[in-house]
């Protein structure tokens, strides 16, 4: 018998101790990540699920009101969400868990359940039991995005053999021109490049404010890193990576100064990051999505493919309860 309780702030330690023991828990599931948001930004409605008195799963979530509809969203402040679960999840428990979630949402007057599923490769042991449980309960796809995944080999030499020749030439060009890549703590300089690039290309702002990004670096100094490319001591490009779990590294922000595009600094950046990630025993590098609401940015997709990446789904599912 599964029992669902709403998360309380006093549960934080129990929650965050549980996440590393799960099969699919990520950085985005941690309360220490979710809590960096200002208190008034989201109405947290996270859930803790117990089985026979023991913590069985957690479900990060918040309440959203859109067009008069009360939505339980897992989680609007995180890239991915859904239940964090042990690797020995049974098909019966997966179906029961989905059914109990639906029952809880109905009892609490929600109109819609919305969940962003982590890509399957974020799991330590692959399983589709939870997805099966969701669709058995009536969930449907709201949207399917594509994220670019590169499988890292045991050495940078083997990994770089996956590069298209043009991308490897770009790495050599950057190095020969004097581009230097290193880990950096100069978040302000990178943020300026990011803001400028997003405004030019998309008329948009970064997901995080500068203060929010600084806060994340402070909370997770070992899990969130900035790698930067310099030319004549000037930062010209950067990549912010999130360590999703012990095997997956995600590129959360990628940006460069358009005035220095010909130096191919981003190619050198990724070569350096792959080498760093291989040394730390990561085996999956996630470049992030290149689709928005299902529409692909073909140029961005090709750029990632040229490193040897291929696409997998990052899905959002939904159940209307009315």
Judge whether 2-144+315-320 and 153-282 match in fold: yes
3-state secondary structure 6-30: ECCHHHHHHHHHHHHHCCCCCHHHC
DSSP sequence for 263-311: G-HHHHHHHHHHHHHHHTT--EEEEEE-EETTEE-HHHHHHHHTTT-EE
**Percent of all residues in the chain with a pLDDT value above 70, rounded to a whole number:** 98
- Look at residue 200 in the predicted model and tell me its pLDDT: 57
Q: Which of 182, 167, 194 is nearest to 264 (CA)?
A: 167
In this predicted model, what pLDDT tens digit does every residue of 178-218 receive, in sequence order? Answer: 999 999 999 999 999 999 887 656 667 888 899 999 999 99
In this predicted model, what pLDDT tens digit does every residue of 242-297 receive, in sequence order? Answer: 999 999 999 999 999 999 999 999 999 999 999 999 999 999 999 999 998 999 99
- Side-chain-side CA neighbours of residue 22 (13 Å): 26
- Contact criterion met (CB below 8 Å) for 285 and 152: yes
CATH 3.20.10.10 fits 153-282, yes or no: no
Q: What is the mean pLDDT of the chain?
A: 95
Structural domain boundaries in the chain: 2-144+315-320, 153-282
Q: DSSP code of 259?
A: G
The correct CATH number of 2-144+315-320 out of 3.40.630.30, 1.10.357.10, 3.20.20.80, 3.40.50.720 is: 3.40.630.30
Distance CA 33, CA 204 (A): 24
- Look at residue 203 in the predicted model and tell me its pLDDT: 63
């Amino acid at each position: 018998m599964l029992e669902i309780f709403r998360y309380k702030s006093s549960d934080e330690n129990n929650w965050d101790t549980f996440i590393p023991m799960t099969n699919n828990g990520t950085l985005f599931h941690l309360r220490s990540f979710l809590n960096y948001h200002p208190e008034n930004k989201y109405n947290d409605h996270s859930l803790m699920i117990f089985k026979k008195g023991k913590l069985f799963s957690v479900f990060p979530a918040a309440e959203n009101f859109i067009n008069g509809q009360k939505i339980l969203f897992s989680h609007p402040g995180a890239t991915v969400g859904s239940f964090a679960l042990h690797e020995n999840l049974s098909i019966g428990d997966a179906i029961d868990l989905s059914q109990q979630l639906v029952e809880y949402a109905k009892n609490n007057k929600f109109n819609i359940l919305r969940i962003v599923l982590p890509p399957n490769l974020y799991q330590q042991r692959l399983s589709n039991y939870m997805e099966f449980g969701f669709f058995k309960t009536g969930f449907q796809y709201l949207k399917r995005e594509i994220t670019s995944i590169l499988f890292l080999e045991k050495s940078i030499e083997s990994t770089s053999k996956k590069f298209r020749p043009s991308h490897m030439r770009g790495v050599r060009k950057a190095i020969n021109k004097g581009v230097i890549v290193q880990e950096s703590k100069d978040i302000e300089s990178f943020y300026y490049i990011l803001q400028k690039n997003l405004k030019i290309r998309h008329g948009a702002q970064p997901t995080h404010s500068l203060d929010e990004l600084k806060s994340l670096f402070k909370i997770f100094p070992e899990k969130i890193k900035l790698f930067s490319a310099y030319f004549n001591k000037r930062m010209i490009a950067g990549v912010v990576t999130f360590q999703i779990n012990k095997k997956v590294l995600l590129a959360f922000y990628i940006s460069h100064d358009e005035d220095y595009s010909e130096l191919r600094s981003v190619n050198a950046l990724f070569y350096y990051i792959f080498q760093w990630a291989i040394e730390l025993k990561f085996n999956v590098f996630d470049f992030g999505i290149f689709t928005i609401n299902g529409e692909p940015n073909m140029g961005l997709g090709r750029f990632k493919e040229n490193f040897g990446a291929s696409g997998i789904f990052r899905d959002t599912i939904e159940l209307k309860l009315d």
